[in-house]
A = this chain, B = another copy of it.
Amino acid sequence: MVEAPARLSSTEMSRTLVTDLYELNMAASYLRRGMTARATFSLFVRNLPKGWGFLVACGLERCLEFLEELRFEDEDLEYLGRELGFPDEDLEAFSRFRFTGRVRAIPEGRIFFAEEPILEVAAPLPEAQLVETYLLNQVTYQTAVASKAARCRLAAPEASLVDFSLRRVHGSEAGLGVARATAMVGFTGTSNVEAARLLGLRATGTMAHSYVEAFPSEIEAFRAFARDFRDRVVLLVDTYDTEGGVRNAISVARAEGEHRVVAIRLDSGDLAVLATKARAMLDEAGLTDVQIFASGGLDEHALAALTAGGAPIDAYGVGTKVGVAADSPALDSVYKLVEYDGRAVSKLSTAKVTLPGPKQVWRRAGMAGDVIGLASEDGPGDAEPLLVEVLRGGRRNMADGLSEARLRFDAELAVLPGDLRSLAPEPHVVERTPALEQLAAEVSEEIRRRELG
């Protein structure tokens, strides 16, 4: 592979090898001994982050694309043989490797809860095992960010929110994932130009303090910006002194010219106090249509406080804390074998017991409660099954993307019960069916008899 100039170094990255070594070890071991019967793995989050009431499913698209395209290239095999000591028989088997299985998943944009499988993979054991790391890697951070961003929507339901996180998220791939996750839950734009290009989002941006500082004075900077960006003039007013900045912005907004000042931006200080003062100054100057845009270390709690205090802020740039899901940068996500060759399995180790068997999740009307049961059950009569087949025989069986996911999230938000709209809700009711409880008891009993007897 020759690297194209000005492209990411990850052009050289083999996605197939973006995996933990143990997946390759296990897959090779299974292939050698013909353990290729059908296995089902469940991907779920064991516990919700402290204070969070729900999660928003996100990251599936990348997973499905990965499963469709998964194959070992010659350079991958060469490395595995030369450096990691896999013998020719393994390399031969890897070279023929394709993902031929089936995936059922909770579609992107839907709300889900702890212990509910967001995704189940059913495939020959080596295939289902090998994909573990990549699926967890994509689903975990994208779901964390989408969920954190959804909490921001709840905290500031009337304001427009935009993604300002690129500079402090974990790489450029993460920047793209964060722009997508925030757009999914209703953010109206992103500062990330490449994400806007690739995902068809609205790119948005104002000016930095450095712009103001590069000119001999703030007013000269504002005038230059207004001349250059006529119909999208947003003036950052807090480089030196916010009140003085607002006065300069007013002066530019009222000056003759072909420009229109759309908004002023506050990026520091007590945003509620400064916004109130700025709103009064703008209104007094007859500039009632100039909006107030705020940014600077915001998260759902800051937004909730500003909303509750009635701060006259029309839009927020939400950055770092959402982009890295600061209070829960990783979810407690796992990918667990639940069935192999028709035999339900589970784990017994301390405090980490898993529930056996392929599953379904049913949601009662009005989001009145969820029920986790076995996929083979019928489920409660009035409830909707959440896991749907999204890939079969290694190919996606439906077109589904960001637009559909956005609509699904909007629909979820519209019916979200009051108790889940709180930023510190009570745990939501998730029941288990008697059949699931019984299978779990039987499997535990069988393991105890066999291993500890």
The answer on a CB contact under 8 Å between B5 and A194 is no
Taking CB atoms, residues of chain B closer than 8 Å to A191 are: 20-22
Q: How far is the CB of A136 from chain B (nearest CB, A)?
A: 4
Taking CB atoms, residues of chain B closer than 8 Å to A21 are: 191, 193, 196, 203-205
Compute how far the CA of A35 lies from the CA of B320 in the bound complex, rounded to whole angstroms: 30
Compute how far the CA of A336 lies from the CA of B175 in the bound complex, rounded to whole angstroms: 21
Q: How far is the CB of A24 from chain B (nearest CB, A)?
A: 7
Q: How far is the CB of A176 from chain B (nearest CB, A)?
A: 7
Q: Which residue of chain B lies nearest to A136 when distances are taken between CB atoms in the complex?
A: B167
Which of B7, B214, B330, B349 makes the CB contact (< 8 A) with A11? B7
Assess whether A351 is interfacial by the CB under 8 Å rule. yes
Q: How far is the CB of A86 from chain B (nearest CB, A)?
A: 10
Compute how far the CA of A6 lies from the CA of B22 in the bound complex, rounded to whole angstroms: 20
Per-residue contact bits, chain A 165-187, to B (CB 8 Å; 1 contact, 0 not): 01111111111110000000000
Assess whether A394 is interfacial by the CB under 8 Å rule. no
Per-residue contact bits, chain A 1-34, to B (CB 8 Å; 1 contact, 0 not): 0000111111111111111111111101110110
The answer on a CB contact under 8 Å between A18 and B210 is no
Assess whether A208 is interfacial by the CB under 8 Å rule. yes
Assess whether A62 is interfacial by the CB under 8 Å rule. yes
Which of B141, B213, B450 makes the CB contact (< 8 A) with A347? B213
Number of copies: 2
Within 8 A of B (CB), among A378-410: none
Which of B134, B168, B214 makes the CB contact (< 8 A) with A331? B168
The total of chain A residues at the interface (CB under 8 A) is 124
The answer on a CB contact under 8 Å between A18 and B345 is no
The answer on a CB contact under 8 Å between B174 and A174 is yes
Taking CB atoms, residues of chain B closer than 8 Å to A352 are: 268
Compute how far the CA of A19 lies from the CA of B167 in the bound complex, rounded to whole angstroms: 8
The answer on a CB contact under 8 Å between A33 and B137 is no
Assess whether A133 is interfacial by the CB under 8 Å rule. yes
The answer on a CB contact under 8 Å between B197 and A14 is yes
The answer on a CB contact under 8 Å between A194 and B268 is no
The answer on a CB contact under 8 Å between B22 and A207 is yes
Q: Which residue of chain B lies nearest to A37 when distances are taken between CB atoms in the complex?
A: B214
Q: How far is the CB of A29 from chain B (nearest CB, A)?
A: 5
Assess whether A288 is interfacial by the CB under 8 Å rule. no
The answer on a CB contact under 8 Å between B208 and A26 is yes
Q: How far is the CB of A12 from chain B (nearest CB, A)?
A: 7
Q: How far is the CB of A330 from chain B (nearest CB, A)?
A: 4
The answer on a CB contact under 8 Å between A337 and B20 is no
Q: Which residue of chain B lies nearest to A269 when distances are taken between CB atoms in the complex?
A: B350
Assess whether A441 is interfacial by the CB under 8 Å rule. no
Taking CB atoms, residues of chain B closer than 8 Å to A225 are: 29
Which of B5, B176, B210 makes the CB contact (< 8 A) with A129? B210
Q: Which residue of chain B lies nearest to A229 when distances are taken between CB atoms in the complex?
A: B25
Q: Which residue of chain B lies nearest to A352 when distances are taken between CB atoms in the complex?
A: B268
Taking CB atoms, residues of chain B closer than 8 Å to A205 are: 20-25
Q: How far is the CB of A273 from chain B (nearest CB, A)?
A: 10
Taking CB atoms, residues of chain B closer than 8 Å to A347 are: 209, 213, 239-240
Please name 7 further chain A to chain B contacts, defined as beta carbons within 8 Å, in addition to the given A7-B13, A9-B62, sorted by A numbering: A6-B72, A20-B167, A80-B193, A137-B169, A168-B333, A171-B173, A210-B337
Supply 19 A–B pairs (Cβ within 8 Å), ascending by A: A10-B173, A17-B197, A18-B166, A18-B175, A19-B192, A19-B193, A21-B193, A29-B229, A79-B197, A141-B169, A170-B329, A171-B177, A173-B173, A238-B350, A241-B451, A244-B452, A268-B351, A268-B352, A324-B330
Q: Would you list the 7 A-B pairs with minimal beta carbon distance, nearest first?
A: A21-B205, A22-B205, A210-B337, A170-B170, A269-B350, A17-B194, A329-B329
A: residues with CB less than 8 A from B are 5-26, 28-30, 32-33, 35, 39, 41, 62, 65, 69-73, 79-80, 83-84, 125, 129, 132-134, 136-138, 140-141, 164, 166-177, 191-194, 196-198, 203-211, 213-214, 217-218, 224-225, 228-229, 238-242, 244, 267-270, 320-321, 323-326, 329-331, 333, 335-337, 340, 345-352, 447, 450-452
